[in-house]
Structure formats: C-alpha cells, structure tokens
Amino acid sequence: MFDIEAVNDITVYAFEIMYAGREILGEDLEVVTPEVYVKKGTWVGSQFDPEAWDTVYSGKTIPVVIPNVTCPGPLYDDVILDHGIKLKAGETYGIYITLKEPAQLW
C-alpha cells in the first residue's frame, strides 16, 4: 500500500510490479493475477477495511516469463488498467496492489 499525492491532474494507466515466484519462494508460478485497489485519501487506517477500497483491476492473469539466467532475480510485469485512475491535483489517493497467488510482491 502506498499513497499518491497528485501535483497536477493526472490519469494513471498502468503499474509495474516486481515479485518473486518459483526461484525465491519455491512456488511454480505460470501466471500471476494482480488486483489493484484505490481509495480517496491516505491508505493509513484503511488497511484492514475492505469497504474503503474500490477495485480498479482484478481477475486478469499475466503469464510469468522466467529469464534464462544462472542467478534469477525478481520478476517484473506491467499491470495495464482497463480504465485509468483519474487523480485530481492536491488530492491524496491510497493505492493497494496485491497478487492472488502466493508470491512476494515489492
């Protein structure tokens, strides 16, 4: 979870996520299923309140591509939103990005 305070009006269309799967956690991931939530105002105090959040991305899987290297590191993927998140200048928005699969997300 993190906050974005918009300096100007902006629309967010995508997030890049970094996660660990098979190499680090021993999980054999073929796809990941990100979920993205947003709320007006800070995330602080709302981390345990599902009613406070609006879902902006859910249910679409992204194939996991494991690089062919000797010492694999974290994996990266882009989460492209169906509809951009419109943020107004001077406002704070809480963002929560998670995965349905058992993977460590940074």
The pLDDT of 89-96, averaged and rounded, is 96
pLDDT number for residue 22: 53
Every domain of the chain and the residues it spans: 2-105
The pLDDT score that the predictor gives to residue 27 is 54
Give tens-digit pLDDT for 11-62. 999 998 887 755 545 555 667 788 999 999 999 999 999 999 999 998 777 7
- Residue 21: is it exposed, middle or buried by C-beta count within 10 angstroms (0-12/13-18/19+)? buried
Query: Distance between CA 74 and CA 3 in Å, rounded?
Result: 23
